[in-house]
Structure 1
Amino acid sequence: MAMIPRKEPIPVSSVKEASFSVKELLGLPLLSDARLIAGDTGTGRVVTRVNVMEVPDIIPWVRPGEFLLTTGYALKEEPQRFRQLVPELAKRGVAALGIKTKRFVEEVPAEVAEEAEKHGLPLIEMAPDTVFSDVVRIVMERVLSQESSQLADLQNRIQSMTRLLLDGSGLYAFLDAMEEMLDNPVAVIREQDKPWLSQSLRSAEPTEVWPLLQSLSFRQIGRGANNGFMVLQNTYRTYVSTIPTRRMKQACLVLVEKNRDISPLDALSVDRLAALAGLELANVEAVREVEGKYLDQFLQDWLTGKIVSDADWKLRADVCGCAIPEGTPLCAVLVGWNQPDSTPDKRREMARRLRSERLRSIDGILAAPIGDDLALVLPLAPGTDFAADAGSSSDSLLGRLLSELRHLLGDRELRLFAGRTTNRSEGLHMSWMQAKRTRQVAEVCGLSGDTVTYDRLGVYSLLYLIPMGEEREQFLRRFAFPLQQADRKGGGRLVETLEMFFRCNGNIKLTSERLYAHYNTIVYRLEKIESILGVTLDDPEDRLQLHLALKLGQITPHSIG
């Protein structure tokens, strides 16, 4: 019997986040004679340690959260440097600056106090008889007491999360528990993959979280990132911790500062829990590798019509984790890409990458390699049909998908060929055959456009369906073969001239310009075509017959020679 996961709550901090602030610092009996000169807005800053600095080059040695003490000895000869020092300390995250006056600095200059007030850096004037070693001892006793409480809290957090993963709850349950524990959304970001999101981000309205999700990508966060804070483009502050991985794609654990400020304990928790996330990612990777092989085969059999019953389809879809609700409109699309060095392994990897990417145009896209082709299965919103005319919303949807695929696959010449939309799982095979026919006819007949749908083929799809037979051969022998025979005997590019004549809508001057030939040469060739075939190009019926013969010959060139 499978183990039933324990429903133990994940403990949050039992008390308000443990910290020792500048305000509490000023309340120590030892500092009863100290005076806050400026920076009252920064008294909520957390003090993590004390540092006594009496060297000229202070900045490289200070750390965030420090209470910096000085007598001003290093600044007595450079009062202007004193003023420049304050914004630099604030930028480095110093909690407060304490100065003992009357020995080397008689009083704190007014311009220094102004800078401290401007940057919200607490500036404290210490009593002349203050002993720095006593301050260090008292403050660090308080800090260490707080830190011991935080370490106990951190240990509880790690133990709880470890139990959660050992119960087999999975990565999403892990992230949801982290969000509840840290009171901020959490995400796992991995290169060439959709992000794994905690509950509040998964359940939010797409329009509300989309700007945040755009920033939560490996291209913006993970690539070359070190552990630490960073601000996203949409002004959200995050704490990023690299997830240790072996023989896997790079990944990182991200805590988003959305509901409350990220505390030092929160950041430390993310750093420690990143290792657990790495273990779960390895498990996800192993499962995905196995499922990917089954999914590839399932999609190939589905598209090529090898799944004959609805019950078989449901069973195999469930085994492969293919979560497409029954009755969802589906469309098969063939990706026409320029990849001369493409191999079966590369096509399989590309298909798995597309399945894992979060595309803005269509969610839940499926992809599979079929022979030398790359096939897409698009789950669509009810009422969406690519059969609509160009410029409609559905055509726009296909165009947006093309733009995203070109960026992902790195092929600017990529084209999409779409079959008709179907509401039945067994109808996808026909949609795929239509997509293949669309690509063949579009390429043979030179149809323009980066996205071509089956219903845009018009008369070309009818010509494609004309079966091989005596009537077809007689039609081609009457209107196509004689011109090809004349060209082989040196008749002067008659087929090419007639094709360009039709493309130019019967304009002889434009035809001559397109073929870089003299106007009279084109007139001579057209008269020769009329003579060979016994037709007149001024007759609409004859022009229709010739045009259809040329197109039919292009679709089946092997039957024309």
Structure 2
Amino acid sequence: MSLSVEEILRLPGLESLTLRAGARNLRRSVRWSYVAENEGIAEWVMGGELVFVTGINHPRDEANLLRLAREGVACGIAGLVILTGDEFIQRIPEALVELAEREGLPLIEQPYALKMVVVTHLIGTALVQMTQVKHSRRDILGQLLSGDCPSLAIVRRRAGHLQLPLEAPRRLVALRLAGIDRLFREHAPEEAERRLQLYRQQLLDRLEDWQRNLPDALPTLVQGDLFVLLLADCEQACGRDALLGLAATLARELPLRAYLGLSAPAADCADFPRALLQARQALEVAEGLRPPGGLCDYRELGVLRLLRAIPDRTVIEQFLHDTLGALLAPGRKQPQLLVDTLDALLQEGGNALRAAQRLGIHRNTLNQRIARIESLSGQSLDDPQFRLNASMALLIRRTSSAQLEEPRQ
């Protein structure tokens, strides 16, 4: 795992550092230390830094310190360290303490008697050592997830040395942020990229913090835009309530929505590649269906497992158009009106009254649409085969990122 603010405060030699505010976020991961030398820090940090303010190179009155704290919160820094003494910053303003506590920003006081070179050396050394261990752990887990390891026995031996508990059954969660395209539409590329990296760091911090209290926790892995959790197969870690609680927390704290896919249990680490594939398939369904809570369990996919296993997407797309394409009305205000009507009718088990209520239309209007559906499709809704085909096609439509288009000629 990463080195946290709390762990830094416990490093030998740093006992004189005093926490003044923000105790609830002491588990934030520290990416690196940064000494603030300019009037502001927004342009100089990327998130995850422990920022030191000395007052040597720039005057630090109360207004400036409050500005640094606000910019630090906005940029996602790990914490703010204020050096105090007789010459530069004599004391930490109470307004800064109140702001840091309100925003959950760890605020630390460092006496000038504790030399910066000592502090940065101790933190830097600890970060390098932790980074080496973290890289080794993630290297092992990455090999296991890909199935690309020369010797499973050697990997298990390395895992034992690095205290990675791998032999217990686990379930994998694949998680991805949605809305990134909108982020880049609404902001200039530089600002969009800055925000994206900030949100990704906040997500990683939250995931690692959430796992700290779980049994046999393993590091969170990042593969491109995918975040992978390897959870012990127990209710506390991967029960539906636990994961929905995690999703709710992420929804409150992150501007971008997160979707989660949960695998079936993997008996041991040799099964991780299969479990990752299952988690990714469940995630794709969650992103398509957008269920409440944003979570999809692979074991609940049913027939969707078969659809996801078809390698040639054109086969599925052709089936979709063959079954529903005739019901489209290109160029009209509501081109998929009949498709939506058919969907509502089948989801209500063929009950026309409930389907009309679902759609908010009169029963006679629904009857007219049903007649139109049967006329255009050449099929009868009394035919169980047509109902089966239509249900499958509508399921594909709901879970596919592609939009139903005009039928091919």
| Structure 1 and Structure 2 fold alike (TM over 0.5) | yes
Partner of residue 188, structure 2: none
Question: Residues 172-321 of structure 1: matches in 2 within 5 Å?
Answer: 174=12, 192-193=28-29, 252=108, 279-293=121-135, 295-307=137-149, 309-314=151-156, 317=159, 321=162
Match of 1:395 among 222, 240, 250: 240
Partner of residue 503, structure 1: 347
Partner of residue 334, structure 1: 174
Shift in alpha-carbon separation, 1:447–1:461, aligned structure 2, 3 A: farther
Partner of residue 393, structure 2: 549
Partner of residue 214, structure 2: 362
Give 1:309's aligned amino acid.
Answer: S
Q: Is the 8 A contact 2:143 2:149 kept in 1?
A: yes
Give the C-alpha shift of residue 365 in structure 1: 4.3
Match of 1:376 among 229, 232, 237: 229
Instruction: Give a deviation string over 1:268-314, Cα, whole Å, max 9, x none.
Output: 9xx86998665422211233345555555554443233235313433
Shift in alpha-carbon separation, 1:471–1:326, aligned structure 2, 3 A: closer
Q: Is the 8 A contact 1:512 1:519 kept in 2?
A: yes
Once residues 381 and 469 of structure 1 are traced to their aligned partners in structure 2, the CA distance between those partners, rounded to angstroms, is: 33
Once residues 106 and 81 of structure 2 are traced to their aligned partners in structure 1, the CA distance between those partners, rounded to angstroms, is: 9
Give the C-alpha shift of residue 436 in structure 1: 1.0
Q: Is the 8 A contact 2:174 2:262 kept in 1?
A: yes
Partner of residue 483, structure 1: 324
Residue ranges of structure 2 left out of the alignment (5+ in a row)? 1-7, 16-22, 31-72, 85-104, 181-191
Partner of residue 254, structure 2: 410
Partner of residue 266, structure 2: 422
Give the C-alpha shift of residue 499 in structure 1: 1.2
Task: Determine which structure has greater relative contact order: mean sequence separation of CA pairs < 8 Å that are 6+ residues apart, divided by chain length.
Answer: 2
Give 2:325's aligned amino acid.
Answer: Q
Q: Is the 8 A contact 1:355 1:366 kept in 2?
A: no
Q: Is the 8 A contact 2:221 2:229 kept in 1?
A: yes
Instruction: Give a deviation string over 1:515-559, Cα, whole Å, max 9, x none.
Output: 455543321221232234444324555423421233245556699
Shift in alpha-carbon separation, 1:484–1:532, aligned structure 2, 3 A: same
Once residues 273 and 291 of structure 2 are traced to their aligned partners in structure 1, the CA distance between those partners, rounded to angstroms, is: 24
Partner of residue 56, structure 2: none
Give the C-alpha shift of residue 434 in structure 1: 0.9
Give the C-alpha shift of residue 224 in structure 1: 7.5
Partner of residue 435, structure 1: 279
Provide the secondary structure at the position in 2 that maps to 1:174: coil
Once residues 296 and 263 of structure 2 are traced to their aligned partners in structure 1, the CA distance between those partners, rounded to angstroms, is: 9
Instruction: Give a deviation string over 1:188-228, Cα, whole Å, max 9, x none.
Output: x857239xxxxxxxxxxxxxxxxxxxxxxx99xx768898x
Q: Is the 8 A contact 1:418 1:435 kept in 2?
A: yes
Give 2:205's aligned amino acid.
Answer: R
Shift in alpha-carbon separation, 1:275–1:423, aligned structure 2, 3 A: farther
Once residues 365 and 208 of structure 2 are traced to their aligned partners in structure 1, the CA distance between those partners, rounded to angstroms, is: 58
Provide the secondary structure at the position in 2 that maps to 1:377: strand
Q: Is the 8 A contact 1:385 1:420 kept in 2?
A: no
Partner of residue 205, structure 2: 353
Shift in alpha-carbon separation, 1:507–1:274, aligned structure 2, 3 A: farther
Partner of residue 162, structure 1: none
Q: CA RMSD in A?
A: 4.9
Shift in alpha-carbon separation, 1:226–1:403, aligned structure 2, 3 A: farther
Shift in alpha-carbon separation, 1:488–1:435, aligned structure 2, 3 A: same
Question: Residues 1-16 of structure 1: matches in 2 within 5 Å?
Answer: none
Shift in alpha-carbon separation, 1:437–1:336, aligned structure 2, 3 A: same
Once residues 310 and 299 of structure 2 are traced to their aligned partners in structure 1, the CA distance between those partners, rounded to angstroms, is: 17
Q: Is the 8 A contact 1:367 1:374 kept in 2?
A: yes
Q: Is the 8 A contact 2:174 2:276 kept in 1?
A: yes
The sequence identity of aligned pairs, in percent, is 21
Give 1:174's aligned amino acid.
Answer: P
Provide the secondary structure at the position in 1 that maps to 2:172: strand
Q: Is the 8 A contact 1:335 1:416 kept in 2?
A: yes
Give 1:374's aligned amino acid.
Answer: F
Give the C-alpha shift of residue 171 in structure 1: 8.9
Give 1:328's aligned amino acid.
Answer: A
Instruction: Give a deviation string over 1:376-403, Cα, whole Å, max 9, x none.
Output: 222x1668785xxxxxxx2122223334
Give 1:331's aligned amino acid.
Answer: R
Question: Residues 504-543 of structure 1: matches in 2 within 5 Å?
Answer: 504-515=348-359, 517-540=361-384, 542-543=386-387
Shift in alpha-carbon separation, 1:224–1:537, aligned structure 2, 3 A: same
Q: Is the 8 A contact 1:464 1:552 kept in 2?
A: no
Once residues 207 and 342 of structure 2 are traced to their aligned partners in structure 1, the CA distance between those partners, rounded to angstroms, is: 46
Give the C-alpha shift of residue 498 in structure 1: 0.8
Shift in alpha-carbon separation, 1:558–1:404, aligned structure 2, 3 A: closer
Once residues 336 and 396 of structure 2 are traced to their aligned partners in structure 1, the CA distance between those partners, rounded to angstroms, is: 22
Q: Is the 8 A contact 1:292 1:352 kept in 2?
A: no
TM-score normalised by the chain length of structure 1: 0.44
Q: Is the 8 A contact 2:233 2:265 kept in 1?
A: no
Provide the secondary structure at the position in 1 that maps to 2:296: strand
Once residues 428 and 347 of structure 1 are traced to their aligned partners in structure 2, the CA distance between those partners, rounded to angstroms, is: 27
Q: Is the 8 A contact 1:354 1:366 kept in 2?
A: no
Q: Is the 8 A contact 1:445 1:551 kept in 2?
A: no
TM-score normalised by the chain length of structure 2: 0.58
Shift in alpha-carbon separation, 1:428–1:224, aligned structure 2, 3 A: same
Once residues 500 and 395 of structure 1 are traced to their aligned partners in structure 2, the CA distance between those partners, rounded to angstroms, is: 28
Partner of residue 325, structure 1: 165
